[in-house]
Amino acid sequence: MRTSSIRAIRRVELSRAAFEAVIRYGLRKTTLEKVGDIAGVSKGVVLHHFKDKSALLEAVFRRSNTLLSGSVVELYRYAETPYERLWAIIVANFFETIFNRQVCQAWVSLISEVPHNTECQRVQIANNERIRSNLMHELKHFLPEQEAEQVARHLGVHIDGIWVRAGLLPHPVETNMAISEMQFAIEKMLPFDEISAAKHKEARKKIEAVADIALGSKAFKEKFLQI
Amino acid sequence: MRTSSIRAIRRVELSRAAFEAVIRYGLRKTTLEKVGDIAGVSKGVVLHHFKDKSALLEAVFRRSNTLLSGSVVELYRYAETPYERLWAIIVANFFETIFNRQVCQAWVSLISEVPHNTECQRVQIANNERIRSNLMHELKHFLPEQEAEQVARHLGVHIDGIWVRAGLLPHPVETNMAISEMQFAIEKMLPFDEISAAKHKEARKKIEAVADIALGSKAFKEKFLQI
DNA sequence: ACAAATTATTGTCTAATGGTAAGTTTTATG
DNA sequence: CATAAAACTTACCATTAGACAATAATTTGT
* pLDDT, position A4: 53
Contacts of A197 (CB under 8 A, 6+ apart): A187
B58 inside 8 A of chain A by CB: no
Is B2 touching A (CB cutoff 8 A)?
no
In chain A, what residues touch B153 (CB-CB under 8 Å)? 181
> What percent of chain A clears pLDDT 70, i.e. is strictly above it?
96
How many residues in total does chain A contain? 227
Q: Which amino acid belongs to residue B40?
A: G
- Mean pLDDT, chain A, rounded, equals 93
The answer to whether residues B108 and A111 touch, using CB atoms and an 8 Å cutoff, is yes
> Rounded to whole angstroms, what are the CA distances from B89 to A56, B16, B155, B185?
40, 25, 11, 14
* Mean pLDDT, residues A108-116: 93
Written in H, E and C, the secondary structure of chain B is CHHHHHHHHHHHHHHHHHHHHHHHHCCCCCCHHHHHHHHCCCHHHHHHHCCCHHHHHHHHHHHHHHHHHHHHHHHHCCCCCHHHHHHHHHHHHCCCCCCCHHHHHHHHHHHCCHHHCHHHHHHHHHHHHHHHHHHHHHHCCCCCHHHHHHHHHHHHHHHHHHHHHHHHCCCCCCHHHHHHHHHHHHHHHCCCCHHHHHHHHHHHHHHHHHHHHHCCCHHHHHHHHHC
Chain B residue with Cα closest to A190: B188
Instruction: Give me the pLDDT at residue B226, please.
Output: 61
Residue A3 — pLDDT band, cuts 50, 70, 90?
Answer: very low
CA A61 from chain centre, in angstroms, equals 10
- Does residue A69 carry a pLDDT above 50? yes
Whether residue A115 and residue B168 make contact (CB cut-off 8 A), yes or no, is: yes
Interface of A with B in 179-218 (CB under 8 A): 181, 184-185, 188-189
Chain B residues touching A125 at Cβ < 8 A: 168-170
Q: What span, in angstroms and rounded, lies between the C-alpha atoms of A152 and A146?
A: 10
- Positions in chain B whose pLDDT score sits under 70: 1-4, 225-227
Which pLDDT tens digit goes with each residue over A44-68? Answer: 999 999 999 999 999 999 988 988 8
Give the contacts of B55 (CB within 8 A, at least 6 positions apart). Answer: none
Specify burial of residue B92 (Cβ count, 10 A radius: 0-12, 13-18, 19+): buried
Q: Which pLDDT score is estimated for B3?
A: 47
Amino acid at A142: F
